[in-house]
Amino acid sequence: MNYTTQHIADITNAQIIGDNNLIIRNIAFDSRIIYSTKNTAFIAINTHKNSGEKFIESAIDRGITAIISEHQYPQFENITWIIVENSVEFLQKLAKYHFENSHLKSIGITGSNGKTILKEWLYQSLWNEFPTVKSPKSFNSQIGLPLSLLQINDSHQLGIFEVGISKPNEMQKLEDIFHPQIGLLTHIGTAHAANFESEEELINEKIKLFKNSEVIIYNGDNLLVDKKIKQLYSSKKLISYGFKENNQVFIKNNISKDENIIVKYFDEEISFPAHQRDEATLTNALALLTVLKELGIENHKIVEKINALKSVEMRLEAIEGIKNNIVINDSFNLDLDSLKTALQFLNEYNKPKKSLVLTDIVGVNSNSQELYEEVSELVNEQKFDSVFLIGNEISKFSDLFNSQTSTFINTRELIESKHLTEIENQIILLKGARKFEIEKLKDILELRKHDTVLEINLNAILHNINYHKSLLKPSTKMMAMVKANAYGLGSYEISEFLQHHHIDYLGVAFVDEGVELRKKGITVPIIVMNPEQHSYETVIQYNLEPEIYSFRVLELFYEAVQKSGYDKKYPIHIKLETGMHRLGFKDFELNQLSEILSDKNLKIQSIFSHLSSSDMPTEREFTLHQLETFEKNSSYLIEKLGYTPIRHILNSSGITSYTHHEYDMVRIGIGMLGESPNSEIQKQLHPVVSFKTVISQISQVENGESVGYSRRYKTDHSTKIATIPVGYADGIPRLIGNQVGNVGINKTLAPIVGSICMDMMMINVDNIPNVREGDTVTVFNAKPSLKEFAEYCKTITYEVLTSISPRVKRIYIKD
Ligand SMILES: *Cc1c(COP(=O)(O)O)cnc(C)c1O
């Protein structure tokens, strides 16, 4: 977009306070990920759940000078205010105007599953054919769609936008803002069906998006969809695709055979090799192919484009680097849009120094001077310490970059220069087009090299936290338990991510754990559950908050506070014993406790207790008794204190099973990692951790031969045996060897055979077709699930996670 503030006001009936002639090109809605302040207005979006106005200050701190808001805050000086009646309606009005006055061809994608992946695939296939704009991430809602549309500018010829609804009557509103020429309907499933009476109602709502479309491309496997579309839109051009042969576009041959996929497209046949052959992936490929045909792309190019998708992983990885660096690897494609996303991602980290490796942008038809001017503007705003440019094109424009900039013909030249390996204590972004193979840089910068990794999906953690939050009152605070290295997953990385997402409290077990977080820049309040008695000085020095569970600890800690010269009331947390019999004050101690506390310079920040059996339906009565004791004893103490500290008792399964006892805060642990003892809740959570490795070797072991130490397994027929490089030193208990446990390959279980060795184990892969050396093996989470794996080990998921050895590389991913 490109409007003056006055023009925006005219379109939307807003009121300007300040400069009427400011040019606005971007609207930022999240103050944390503002990647550019130039010509950018920050919009404070108010929804019924949240007010964006509390982030105005941080947007201004970042350098924003134009604010769109329902209220003006005169304390901020030199700000131009666009005052609107309703922030969401403002966005929608502006987006509608903007879309209707743009001249691009538009594709609107809706459906239950596959919208985001299809949008990304289409974008990857089309951005080098036409200047293309798309929705970022999965921005598809009443707010996300308008924000996406506002990215359209004059140069764009094609727009690909996702449209998502979850309730009746929402599509009407979205269609009023956005009416795509090409409508694409993906699979309709039950994902959002909850708010609809019937499948038919859901379908009717979704297809309203196509009211003004010229072409509708839809998944016709669902016969009701097929019928409805044909009924309602018989006058439009309709193309159906899917697995069933009633579709105009379908797969002709048997997909389980190891041969090219042959697609029947009306009377034509188009064939391509496919690596991933699950139904969902192939259905998406059919949709992609159909849209590309519709846009007039030639068959050989379509096949090329589909092949290029093969290794697509739509995510940025953050990797622990050598010399205390963090390496963000985004080395599979490069365009302006993904550069912006990567810069946003970078801004979520708190490292003061940063460097960038950037390559030529390849395959674009537009003017390169203009393109690299835009690139350098984006990059210059980030104030990188050093910028390394790879490629002849971008190198020509090195003068445009303000940082210390060096240029290289190719990736090898940069490696040989050794510049990168000198960097210390920085965040390094690797951003390049695929052909430059800058992932080679990742190999050099990465701290540990191992085929075995523990992958941690941070978005899934956020989803799981939000799911638990959705059960609670909006005002209830949340503490995330990151003790024991966040259940083995990495307490800093997870705390940093949660801090960014406004977690209220963090909980650790010991002081050292809290100190590590503080040293690395975590500033949210941290409670220490078991502060050891020689650590109180450190507690105070690092602004940690101790759990106080006995008179002895109270006296010792208070002494330390006095000695430290701390002159305000120091925050502490009082633990009550309610039935766990671990730590805490008992009911007969409360009177004395209140007296001691009354003349001490301490602030009781919270009163809490812990449930011993909230995960056990059979102990409901006991748990209710614990809750009752807590209510009684905490109320008694509060009355004596004369003020009201916050109260909390629920852990993850407490949140789901005893929600009404949420008090002022809850403490989530295993639930944010995607595990619940309740199978209904489990379905709502997303898996967070997966432990993976690869096959080192496959051997055919003849009948009667033995495998591994002590010859504990002997084959009873000629058997295919694979060796994988994880053993008991990685945290796999030796007791699950010899056919107790399984690992997963291609979604099939393979039993562990023979004794587990220190660094390796052997598995029977007889039942796994096409298995090859180098194939990925899932130790847990997917198949087998973490829960199943814990069952092999005869323990609980908590112990499995905390047992994974530190030598296993942790990788953090965000979509
Ligand atoms: C570990 C812990 C939790 C979190 O328990 P989950 O079952 O993982 O949710 C909550 N409170 C206390 C005191 C804890 O030690």
User: Catalytic one among 483, 575, 692, 814?
Assistant: 483
Strands 526-528 and 545-548: parallel
Q: Do residues 727 and 788 both lie within one domain?
A: yes
Q: Are residues 665 and 750 in the same domain?
A: no
**Who contacts 129 (Cβ-Cβ below 8 Å, separation ≥6)?**
295, 297
Say if residue 139 is in the same domain as residue 266: yes
Ligand 1 closest atom vs CA 652: 9
* DSSP classification of residue 46: B
Percent of the chain scoring above 70 in pLDDT: 97
DSSP H helices, 207-316, are 223-232, 279-294, 299-309
Same domain, residue pair 294 and 179: yes
Indicate which residue's Cα is closest to atom 13 of ligand 1.
610
Say if residues 771 and 744 touch (Cβ distance below 8 Å): no
Average pLDDT, integer, range 451-460: 92
Burial of 136 by CB count in 10 Å (0-12 exposed, 13-18 middle, 19+ buried)? middle
| 131 and 85 inside one domain | no
* CATH code, 586: 3.20.20.10
Res 325 pLDDT > 70: yes
pLDDT at 313 > cutoff 80: no
Phi, psi of 132 (to 5 degrees): -125, 145
Give the per-residue pLDDT at 644: 94
| Angle at the Cα of 592 from the Cα atoms of 630 and 624, rounded to 5 degrees | 10
In this structure, the answer to whether residues 53 and 163 fall within a common structural domain is: no
Residues spanned by the domain of 165 = 102-308
Cα–Cα distance for residue pair 417/672, rounded to 1 Å: 44
pLDDT-derived band at 494 (thresholds 50, 70, 90) equals very high
Lowest mean pLDDT among 85-94, 216-225, 234-243, 356-365: 356-365
Tell me, what DSSP letter sits at residue 702?
Answer: P
Q: Is residue 300 part of a domain?
A: yes
Compute, in angstroms, the gap from residue 634 CA to the centroid of ligand 1: 19
Which residue in 166, 171, 98, 168 sits closest to 133, CA to CA?
98
DSSP state of 348: T
Separation of alpha carbons 796 and 790, rounded Å: 5
Question: Ligand 1 atom 12: the closest Cα is on which residue?
Answer: 610
The Cα–Cα gap between 611 and 56 comes to 40
CATH code at 233?
A: 3.40.1190.10
Residue identifier of the C-alpha nearest atom 10 of ligand 1: 651
Neighbours of 200 (CB within 10 A): 13
In a domain, 614, yes or no: yes
Q: Where does a domain end: 447, 476, 502?
A: 447
pLDDT digits (tens, 9 = 90+) for 265-278: 999 999 998 876 77
User: What distance in Å separates the CA atoms of residue 211 and residue 482, rounded to the nearest whole number?
Assistant: 50
483 is catalytic: yes
User: Which CATH number characterizes residue 715's domain?
Assistant: 2.40.37.10
Strands 742-745 and 748-753: antiparallel
Active-site annotation holder among 54, 167, 237, 709: 709
CB-count burial class (<10 Å; 0-12, 13-18, 19+) for 321? buried
Q: Is residue 97 part of a domain?
A: no
Does residue 11 carry a pLDDT above 60? yes
Give CA–CA dist 382/429, Å, rounded.
12
Pocket test residue of 465, 653, 667, 798 for ligand 1, highest count of atoms within 8 A of CB: 667
Domain boundary among 639, 657, 684: 684
Whether the pLDDT of residue 192 is over 60: the answer is no
Residues 590, 486: Cα–Cα separation, whole Å: 32
User: In the structure, which protein residues have their CB atom closer than 6 angstroms to any atom of ligand 1?
Assistant: 481, 483, 529, 610, 651-652, 667-671
Compute CA distances 815 → 80, 341, 364, 432, whole Å.
34, 10, 25, 18
Q: Is residue 381 part of a domain?
A: yes
39 and 86 inside one domain: yes
Tell whether the model's pLDDT for residue 575 goes beyond 90. Answer: yes
The closest residue, in CA terms, to atom 6 on ligand 1 is: 669
Give the domain-ending residue among 658, 684, 710.
Answer: 684
Predicted local confidence at residue 310, as pLDDT:
47
- Decide if 96 is inside a domain: no
Q: Please tell me the residue having the least CA distance from ligand 1 atom 4.
A: 669
- pLDDT value of position 348: 73
Residue 799's SS3 state is helix
Name the amino acid, one letter, at 277: R
- What's the CA-to-centroid distance between 649 and ligand 1, angstroms? 9
**pLDDT mean over 748-756:** 97
690-731 confidence digits (pLDDT tens): 999 999 999 999 999 999 999 999 999 999 999 999 999 999
Whether residues 259 and 325 fall in one domain: no
pLDDT computed for residue 196 by the predictor: 83
Residue 95 maps to a domain? no
Whether cis (ω within 30° of 0) applies to the bond prior to 784 is yes
Structure tokens at 750: 């393979």
What tokens appear for 327 in the block? 């390496």
* 509: in domain: yes
Same domain, 48 and 145: no
Whether 280 contacts 316, CB under 8 Å: no
Q: 634 and 510 in one domain? A: yes
At residue 551, the pLDDT reads 95
pLDDT (tens digit per residue) in 359-396: 998 866 667 888 899 899 999 988 999 999 999 999 99
DSSP assignment letter at 53 = G
In the residue annotation, 709 being an active-site residue is answered as yes
Mean pLDDT of the chain, nearest integer: 92
263, 269 in Cβ contact below 8 A?
yes
Q: Are 140 and 108 in contact (CB under 8 A)?
A: no
Structure tokens at 363: 């395959």
- The answer to whether residue 11 is domain-embedded is yes
Q: How far is the CA of 520 from the centre of ligand 1 (A)?
A: 23
pLDDT at 430: 94
Cβ atoms of residues 556 and 532 within 8 Å: no
pLDDT tens string 392-449: 999 999 999 999 999 999 999 999 898 998 999 999 999 998 789 888 898 788 876 5
249-265: pLDDT as tens digits: 999 988 777 788 999 99
Residues 417 and 371: their CA atoms lie apart, in Å, by 27
- Stretch 136-158: mean pLDDT, rounded? 90
pLDDT at 311: 43
H-helix or E-strand spanning residue 245: none
pLDDT at 126 over 70: yes
pLDDT of 312: 43
Q: Which of 331-345, 376-390, 581-595 has the lowest mean pLDDT?
A: 331-345
pLDDT for 645 equals: 96
Same domain, 493 and 599: yes
Which residue of 483, 608, 610, 659 sits with most ligand 1 atoms within 8 Å of its CB, as the best mutation to test the pocket? Answer: 610
Report the share of the chain in percent with pLDDT over 90.
Answer: 73
Quote the number of domains for the chain. 5
| The Cα angle at residue 506 between residues 502 and 507, in degrees rounded to 5 | 165
- Tens digit of each residue's pLDDT (9 = 90 or more) over 476-485: 999 999 999 9
Assess whether 537 and 611 both reside in one domain. yes
